[in-house]
Amino acid sequence: VSELVDFGCDGVRGKVTSKKDLGQTKNGKPWFSFILDDGATDIKVTVFNNADKFFNDVVVGQTIEITQIRISIKSEQSKKFDHCASTYEIGLKDQSVIKVVEDQVESKIKIQTKTINEITALDSTQAVNCILFVNNAFLKESQDPQKPWWNISLQAIDIEGTSAKVTLWNKELEKYQYTKQDLQKFKNQTIGFYKLMAKKDEKYGLQLQANGSTQIYANDLSNFEKAEEHIDFKNSAAFQGMVQQLKYMETSPDQRSKFGRMGEMKDVIGGDSIRCLALIFLNANVETATYVGCSKCKKKDCQGCDGAPTRKYFKVSGTMADNTGVQQATLFDNQAEQILGISAEQFSVMEPNDQQKKLQQGITCEVVIKHQAQNGEMREQARIQGLSKETNYTEWFQYKVNKLIGDKVGMM
C-alpha cells in the first residue's frame, strides 16, 4: 500500500482490518467499503461495482491481494470520511480480482509510529500510531447528572520530547475496563496508541483523541495479550531528549546488573546490585567537596608512601533519585569527576561562585548501586559501584517497550 505512490502499480496487498456493511446508493445500487493495511499504512477501498459479489471476497483479518484497481488521490470530500493514513484511495472495477494470500511468515504487523511533529505536519484528520510517555493525567467529568460523561486528558510527550495532549473519552476507556479511578495508571507510563485520531483545529491546535478503532497499549498485560502488532521505532536514540526534558528517571538494562529502581533498593539488601537511571545532586558545600590526600594511596594523612606529594580529591555526598525513591551515596573522586566533568584539582582553582554553581546542578546518570546500611545506624545508603553519564537510552527505551508490549507477545 505504501508503494502506491508509484502510480504505475495496479495491485495492492494488505490485511483487511475492517469492513462496512453493504449499503445502498441513492440509486439503490449496493456498495461497501473496507480498510486495507499493509503495516506501513492503511488505505480505504470503496466498492461500487459488483459490490454484492466482492462483498463475500473481503473477510476481516484476511490478507488479500487485489489487482486491476483504480487508484486516486483522496478528494477533499473523501477526507471527511476516510481517516486512513494513505493520501490515496482505491476503487474496484468490474474486472478487479481479489485473491486471498497466505499470511507472511512474520505474522505480526509492523506499526509505523509517528512523532508529534510528523503528526502536526499532516494536513488532514488521520488515524495515527504513536508511542507517548505520559507525564501527567487529569480527569474531567460532567457536572450534569442527566448527561454523565468523563474523560482523561493525558499530558504526554514523544520520543523527540515534543508534547501533546491526548483525550481519552469514557466510552473508549470503558472498553478496556478502565474507570475514573485508573487515572493514576496512566501517569509515568509509556503508552502505545494504535489508530489514535489526530485532528488539527485553528483554535486548539493539534487534538489527539481515541475513537472506536483506537487501541491503547498501556502497561497492563491484559491489554498486551490482545496486541498482535509489533511496534517499530524509528529513532530510539532521540529518547534521550525526552528523558532530559522530563527529568524522569527510569531503569536501564545491562548485561550484568539487573534493572532496578531506587524504590526497590530495600528488596535487594545484601543481594545483587541494580542498575538505575537516576538524577544525582551533590552536596553543594564547596568546603567539604574535596580533601587533600596522598597522590599514591589517596589517604588523607598518609604516613607510608615515602612522602609522596599530595593532591586534591573529591569526596562528596550526593542524593540519587528516580521517580520511585531516593538514596544517599558518597561519590568518590573518579565518580564525582565523571559527573562534574572536571578533576578535583581543576575544581579547587575555580572561582567560589563557579564552584557553587558546578555543585548545584542535577545530572542524570546511569548508576550501578548496591544497598548498604550505615554502620550502627538504620539510615540507608547506597554504594555506587559504577556510574556513567553515557546512558544507553536506546537500550533503556527498548526495555520500556518490552515492558509495554509484554514478554508474552515476543519481542523484536
Q: Are 200 and 206 in contact (CB under 8 A)?
A: yes
Q: Does 294 bind Zn ion (CB under 5 A)?
A: yes
Nearer to Zn ion, 101 or 308 (CB): 308
Q: Count residues near Zn ion (CB under 5 A).
A: 5
Taking the C-alpha atoms of residue 335 and residue 340, their distance in angstroms, rounded to an integer, is: 9
CB of 348 to Zn ion, least distance (A): 19
CB of 301 to Zn ion, least distance (A): 9
User: How many CB atoms sit inside 10 A of residue 324's CB?
Assistant: 16
Cα 122 → chain centroid: 21
x/- track of binding to Zn ion for residues 320-339 (CB under 5 A):
--------------------
Q: Does 302 bind Zn ion (CB under 5 A)?
A: yes
Q: Given the rule CB under 5 A, which of 174-182, 261-269, 302-310, 337-345 is the region that contacts Zn ion?
A: 302-310
Q: Are 11 and 65 in contact (CB under 8 A)?
A: yes
Q: Does 284 bind Zn ion (CB under 5 A)?
A: no
Close Cβ partners of 381 (under 8 Å, ≥ 6 residues apart):
327, 328, 329, 330, 372, 373, 374
Q: Does 292 bind Zn ion (CB under 5 A)?
A: no
CB of 309 to Zn ion, least distance (A): 10
CB of 345 to Zn ion, least distance (A): 17
Give the CA diameter of the chain.
105
Taking the C-alpha atoms of residue 395 and residue 233, their distance in angstroms, rounded to an integer, is: 12
Q: Does 5 bind Zn ion (CB under 5 A)?
A: no
x/- track of binding to Zn ion for residues 235-274 (CB under 5 A):
----------------------------------------
Nearer to Zn ion, 185 or 299 (CB): 299
Q: Does 296 bind Zn ion (CB under 5 A)?
A: yes
Nearer to Zn ion, 195 or 315 (CB): 315
Q: Given the rule CB under 5 A, which of 62-70, 115-123, 214-222, 286-294 is the region that contacts Zn ion?
A: 286-294
Nearer to Zn ion, 9 or 292 (CB): 292
**Integer CA distances (angstroms), 140 to 92, 177, 293, 311, in order:** 45, 18, 60, 61
Q: Are 59 and 1 in contact (CB under 8 A)?
A: no
Among 121, 237, 269, 297, binds Zn ion (CB under 5 A): 297
Among 305, 373, 411, 412, binds Zn ion (CB under 5 A): 305
Taking the C-alpha atoms of residue 219 and residue 34, their distance in angstroms, rounded to an integer, is: 31
CB of 289 to Zn ion, least distance (A): 21
User: How many CB atoms sit inside 10 A of residue 346's CB?
Assistant: 12
Q: Are 201 and 207 in contact (CB under 8 A)?
A: yes
CB of 308 to Zn ion, least distance (A): 6
Taking the C-alpha atoms of residue 409 and residue 343, their distance in angstroms, rounded to an integer, is: 48
Point out which residues bind Zn ion (CB under 5 A).
Answer: 294, 296-297, 302, 305
